Amino acid sequence: MSSLLHRLPPYCQIHLLKHVQAHLIRFGLNQDNYLINMLLKSTLQLGNPTYARVIFYQLEEPNIFLWNTMIQGFVINNRHNETIEFYGLMRKEGLFPNNMTFPFVLKACAKLLDLDLGVKIHTYVLKAGLDFDMFVKTSLLSIYAKCGYVKEAHLLFDEIPVKNVVSWTAIISGYIGVGRYSEAVDLFRRMLEMNLTPDSFTIVRVLSACSQLGDSRNGEWIHRYISNIGMGRNVFVATSLLDMYCKCGNMEKARVVFDETPEKDVVVWGAMICGYASNGLPKEAVELFIEMQSKHVKPDSHTVVGVLSACARLGALELGERVNGLIDKNELLLNPIVGTALIDMYAKCGNIMRAWKIFDAMMERDLVLWNAMISGLAMNGHIKAAFGLFAQMEKMGIQPDGNTFIGLLCGCTHAGLVDEGRRYFDSIHRVYSLIPKIEHYGCMVDLLGRAGLLTEAHQLIKDMPFKANSIVWGALLGGCRIHKDTQLAEHVLKQLIELEPWNSGNYVLLTNIFSVTGRWDDAAKMRLIMNERGLQKSPASSWIEVDGVVHEFRVGDQLHPLSEEIYAKLEELGQKLKGLGYTPMTDFVMFDIDEEEKESSLGCHSEKLAIAFGLIRSAPGALIRVVKNLRVCGDCHTAITLISKVTGREIIVRDNNRFHCFKDGSCSCNNYW
């Protein structure tokens, strides 16, 4: 009957079952337990437990098999409360459950986290003498594990005389559920030592443990095992393996898994795209998304969020608009996750009005969505609007979290609002009873340092209730750079070298400070230390999107097909800027080279190359958007300000620090450079 039913359209299936029931009634077989059991199973398999109840309630004396069919059917259809309800009714009827009843009732208890009923059922299991039934025992350990009682679950596990894959998977999942990932991986090893072959679900669970640990070493070992047993072509397993490598930051291995997966569904594509986006490879994420579209694979919301994140990182507004066009508008308004990604993308691409329209239209707004809009307004220089939105959030009774205050404090930093920053920082604990985290201290140190209050910033670090990390010290070092306090900078650098001796950025920044103050010998020593330790300066990169294509430039880049035109445009701009009195600020070059070479080095910074390309390829008068991975130097800031004047173009540059909006020879952040 089941195979015949599934060949029919859904609306015909239940209609046919009603005909079958009518015939049973007509021939007086409506109380035949065997036939009714078949009818109930078919009805439940079709996902219609409501109709199954109607059939069941017409029975005069249902036997244990019929009760079990109903209980199992409710579990299959995720109607766990009804499972518990029928278990109670069955007990009231005086029927005692058997080994086919308990596993399903316990599964429902585990789903509902109803440990009290689980413990009562455990008692009944002992009374019935079923405590050594492997399936019942496995179900018992599952509910204890799901409810966080791993010790009790493990005791039950140890009592199972012959453990199968299901038992091992249950206890492994229990350890994963309470965050004991290393022990879960160790249990998986023990399972293999017992010569048991795991199923795909077991492997997916243990790979998730490796993901949480960031343990690519064990992940690679499991990968080899998967290949040996021939499970690597399983899409479910391949997706989990790919996700594990992405979360461990090993994108090369992830790409190998992706390329070797024969049947790529939207989940596989989405995992790879999101992996690139979350591991600082936005250009690769965008390129893969374009390839995905060429394969006519429709993106799901997870994929959309990943590619929007990549667009935000690159400032790829045109592509972001295209992705927005793929989203069902009704779904968007009810999906805060997608809405947040869109708001973040528009805000980071400098189109804050579009971000606001998305926010204003959202029918469901969670705290993350509010935080995204507040941060977006702050990073685009609309500080008062960010403060106003925060006040509106308070009036609506939405409790802020730590991320809310990070957005507000970053806004204060960008605008140089020291008093407001102090007030918000103080209110985190005093007003909202939240504990300031190290990120909040970092924001305050950055704010104070930029404002020249280096002593106060240093004292705040000393007064912190925990040890400062590299971000906090780095914020103070940035303040030292702006205000050329080399003495404090040297002290800060010692802390940074102790925390992260591999980070070349610490050495480069101090070298820059030495260079700016004319301490060329000290700068040379820093470069020597970098060479001795094999440290390389992170290359500066800038991205610009033209006609939906993202172009990347690096300092001194001559690989672009239009390099000759780009450098010719820079030469032309240089002549015009000199006519306005511009002189390259050579103190921003860290090497002790002659003035002519310094000017040449400054002239080919990546953001200038990107802007020159934009001037060549974009329509006259079009806004130019550039994203840079490092901070824009003071010379480039001055030069771009003048470029906006001589070309009549509005230029937006987002570096790793803030937005710089250049228009008519001025910049929104000029007063706080």
Question: CA dist 408 to 63, 287, 389, 400, Å?
Answer: 65, 34, 10, 11
Give the pLDDT score at 302. Answer: 92
Q: Does residue 280 lie within any of the structural domains? A: no
**Strand ranges, E, within 338-389:** none
Find out whether 273 and 285 touch, Cβ atoms under 8 Å. yes
Find out whether 97 and 124 touch, Cβ atoms under 8 Å. yes
**Do 528 and 577 fall within a single domain?**
no
**Do 521 and 613 fall within a single domain?**
no
Q: Does residue 454 lie within any of the structural domains? A: yes
**Do 485 and 593 fall within a single domain?**
no
**Do 574 and 509 fall within a single domain?**
no
Q: Which of 124-128, 134-138, 360-364, 585-589 has the lowest mean pLDDT?
A: 585-589
Give the pLDDT score at 352. Answer: 93
pLDDT above 50 (res 671): no
pLDDT above 70 (res 207): yes
- The boundaries of the domain holding residue 551 are 541-667
pLDDT digits 0-9 by tens, 165-205: 999 999 999 999 999 999 999 999 999 999 999 999 999 99
**How many structural domains does the chain have?**
2
Contacts of 291 (CB under 8 A, 6+ apart): none
For the chain, the residue count is 673
Q: Does residue 507 lie within any of the structural domains? A: yes
**Do 644 and 662 fall within a single domain?**
yes
Average pLDDT over residues 548-560: 86
Q: In angstroms, rounded to a whole number, what is the distance separating the alpha carbons of residues 287 and 306?
A: 12
- Report the number of secondary-structure helices (H) and strands (E) in the chain: 37, 6
Show the tokens assigned to 464. Answer: 């912190």
**Do 549 and 630 fall within a single domain?**
yes
pLDDT above 70 (res 15): no
**Do 460 and 527 fall within a single domain?**
yes
Q: Across the chain, what does the average pLDDT equal?
A: 87
**Do 490 and 558 fall within a single domain?**
no
Average pLDDT over residues 429-437: 94
Give the domain CATH number at 524. Answer: 1.25.40.10
Judge residue 608's burial from the number of C-beta atoms within 10 Å of its C-beta, 0-12 exposed, 13-18 middle, 19 or more buried: buried
* DSSP, res 591: S
The phi and psi torsions of 643 (rounded to 5 degrees) equal -60, -40
Contacts of 617 (CB under 8 A, 6+ apart): 546, 547, 562
Q: Does residue 635 lie within any of the structural domains? A: yes
Average pLDDT over residues 378-404: 93
Give the pLDDT score at 586. Answer: 60
Judge residue 3's burial from the number of C-beta atoms within 10 Å of its C-beta, 0-12 exposed, 13-18 middle, 19 or more buried: exposed
Average pLDDT over residues 215-231: 92
Q: Which of 533, 552, 577 is the last residue of a domain?
A: 533
Q: Does residue 629 lie within any of the structural domains? A: yes
Percentage of residues of the chain with pLDDT beyond 70: 93
Which residues, listed in sequence order, are joined to residue 659 by a DSSP beta bridge? 654
In which band, very low, low, confident or very high, does the pLDDT at 601 lie, cut at 50, 70 and 90? low
In which band, very low, low, confident or very high, does the pLDDT at 28 lie, cut at 50, 70 and 90? confident
Which of 141, 134, 56, 70 has the alpha carbon at shortest distance from 107? 141
pLDDT digits 0-9 by tens, 302-360: 999 999 999 999 989 999 999 988 888 777 778 899 999 999 999 999 899 999 999 99
* DSSP, res 588: G
**Do 616 and 566 fall within a single domain?**
yes
Which of 344, 338, 337 has the alpha carbon at shortest distance from 376? 344
State the Rg of the chain over Cα.
32
Q: In angstroms, rounded to a whole number, what is the distance separating the alpha carbons of residues 69 and 100?
A: 9
Q: Does residue 209 lie within any of the structural domains? A: no
Q: In angstroms, rounded to a whole number, what is the distance separating the alpha carbons of residues 536 and 85?
A: 67
Average pLDDT over residues 58-84: 90
* Distance, C-alpha 132 to centroid of its chain: 44
Give the pLDDT score at 305. Answer: 94
Q: Which of 476, 501, 533 is the last residue of a domain?
A: 533
**Do 559 and 593 fall within a single domain?**
yes
pLDDT above 80 (res 576): yes
Q: In angstroms, rounded to a whole number, what is the distance separating the alpha carbons of residues 61 and 74?
A: 20
651-654, strands of its sheet edge to edge: 549-554, 541-546, 624-628, 651-654, 659-663, 666-667
Contacts of 590 (CB under 8 A, 6+ apart): 508, 511, 512, 515, 523
Q: Does residue 591 lie within any of the structural domains? A: yes
What dihedral angle (degrees, nearest 10) is formed by the CA atoms of 69, 71, 77, 78? Answer: -160
In which band, very low, low, confident or very high, does the pLDDT at 584 lie, cut at 50, 70 and 90? confident
In which band, very low, low, confident or very high, does the pLDDT at 501 lie, cut at 50, 70 and 90? confident
Q: Does residue 608 lie within any of the structural domains? A: yes
**Do 592 and 656 fall within a single domain?**
yes
User: Which residue type occupies 205?
Assistant: R
Q: Which of 486, 508, 533 is the last residue of a domain?
A: 533
pLDDT above 70 (res 587): no
Q: In angstroms, rounded to a whole number, what is the distance separating the alpha carbons of residues 510 and 42?
A: 74
Which residue's entry shows tokens 């820079």?
570
Which residues, listed in sequence order, are joined to residue 654 by a DSSP beta bridge? 627, 659
**Do 575 and 655 fall within a single domain?**
yes
What dihedral angle (degrees, nearest 10) is formed by the CA atoms of 279, 284, 285, 286? Answer: 140
